Amino acid sequence: MVEKAETGREERSLSRHILPTSGTMIAVCTTLIGLVKVVEGRIGPSHVDEYAAFASLLFLASAATSYLSIRNIQKQALSKRLETIADQCFLVGLLSIVLIGLFFAYEAI
């Protein structure tokens, strides 16, 4: 979505939502990793922490590309491409967290 800023420049609004939300999701993944490490003594070893670390890297890529999209707003083609990459990384990260939760709940991983 594109909205007009007060100065008349076009401003990418999706990147401005992805950036803080990706940061929050990195914190969620880090918390999940810590909790899994704490309970591994009781439930045995699992790969949940490794998968959560991968998901946090997806959210980091999403945050970085959304930041770069915001910083390069004058270069509209580049900004739009970076925003698309940020959106895709964010959605894949969300999907991975959901799958990790489902597989962990059913003790598949």
Spatial contact of 19 and 67, defined as CB atoms under 8 Å apart: yes
Spatial contact of 106 and 75, defined as CB atoms under 8 Å apart: no
Note the pTM of the prediction, 2 decimals.
0.85
Residue 11: its pLDDT value, please? 53
Residue 72: its pLDDT value, please? 95
Q: Domains of the chain: which residue ranges?
A: 2-105
Distance (Å, rounded) from C-alpha 80 to C-alpha 25?
A: 22
- Neighbouring residues of 96: CB distance < 8 A, sequence distance ≥ 6: 51, 54, 55, 58
Six-digit token string for 83 = 């925003």
Quick check: helix, strand or coil at residue 45? coil
